[in-house]
Chain A
Amino acid sequence: MRMVAEADEDLVEIVLLSLEVSLSAVAIAAVIGMPLGAWLTMYRFPGRRVVIALLNSFMGMPPVVLGLVVYLLLSRAGPLGQYGLLFTPQAMVFAQTLLVLPIIAALTRQTLDDLHRDYDEQFRSYRIGPLPGTFILIREGRYSLATALLAGFGRASAEVGAVMIVGGNINHVTRVMTTTIAMETSKGDFSLALGLGIVLLTIVISINALVLLLQSREKLA
Chain B
Amino acid sequence: MKRPCAGICRVAAVIFLLAAGAWTSAQERFITVASTTSTENSGLFDVLLPRFREQTGIGVRVVAVGTGKAIRMASSGDADVLLVHHRPSEEKFVAEGHGVERLDVMYNDFVIVGPDADPADVAGRGVSAALGNIAAAGAVFASRGDESGTHRKERALWKAAGVEPAGAWYRETGSGMGATLNVASGIGGYALTDRATWLKFANKGDLEILVEGDAVLFNQYGVILVSPERHAHVKAADGQAFIDWLTSDPGQEAIDAYRLEGRQAFFANAARR
Contacts and interface: CB of A to CB of B under 8 A. Distances in A.
Interface string B1-24: 010111110111001101101110
Interface in B190-212: 200-204
B179 interface: yes
A139 B19 contact: no
Given A75-B78, A186-B41, A139 B4 contact: yes
Contacts of B76: 75-78
Contact of B18 (A20, A78, A210): A20
B15 A27 contact: yes
Contact of A188 (B5, B21, B65, B178): B178
B239 interface: no
B189 interface: no
Contacts of A169: 63-64
Contacts of B182: 185-186, 188
A171 B46 contact: yes
A194 to B, nearest CB: 12
B77 A76 contact: yes
Nearest to A90: B23
A191 to B, nearest CB: 8
Contact of B19 (A23, A76, A142): A23
A139 B185 CA distance: 56
A142 B233 contact: no
Contacts of A81: 77
> Which of A170, A210, A215 has the largest number of chain B CB atoms within 10 A?
A170
**Interface size of B as a range:** 35 or more
A217 interface: yes
Nearest to A93: B22
Nearest to A20: B22
Contacts of B18: 19-20, 23-24
Interface string B170-186: 00000111110110010
Contact of A214 (B10, B15, B37, B176): B10
A17 B18 CA distance: 10
Interface in A109-148: 139, 142, 145-146
Q: Is the interface of A mostly helix, strand, loop or mixed?
A: helix
Interface string A168-185: 111101000000000101
Contacts of A215: 7
Contacts of B16: 27
A221 interface: yes
A127 B190 CA distance: 75
B21 A20 contact: yes
Interface string A53-96: 00000000000000000000001111001101011011001000
A84 B203 contact: no
A211 B11 contact: yes
B15 to A, nearest CB: 5
Contacts of B200: 187
Contacts of A11: none
Given A139-B4, A188-B181, A214 B11 contact: yes
Interface of B: 2, 4-8, 10-12, 15-16, 18-19, 21-23, 25, 32, 37, 41, 45-46, 61-65, 76-78, 175-179, 181-182, 185, 200-204, 231, 233
The 6 closest A-B pairs by CB, nearest first: A188-B203, A186-B178, A76-B77, A168-B63, A214-B7, A77-B76
21 contacts: A17-B22, A20-B18, A24-B18, A26-B15, A81-B77, A82-B233, A84-B233, A93-B22, A139-B4, A142-B8, A168-B64, A185-B178, A186-B175, A186-B176, A186-B177, A186-B182, A187-B200, A188-B181, A188-B204, A214-B8, A214-B11
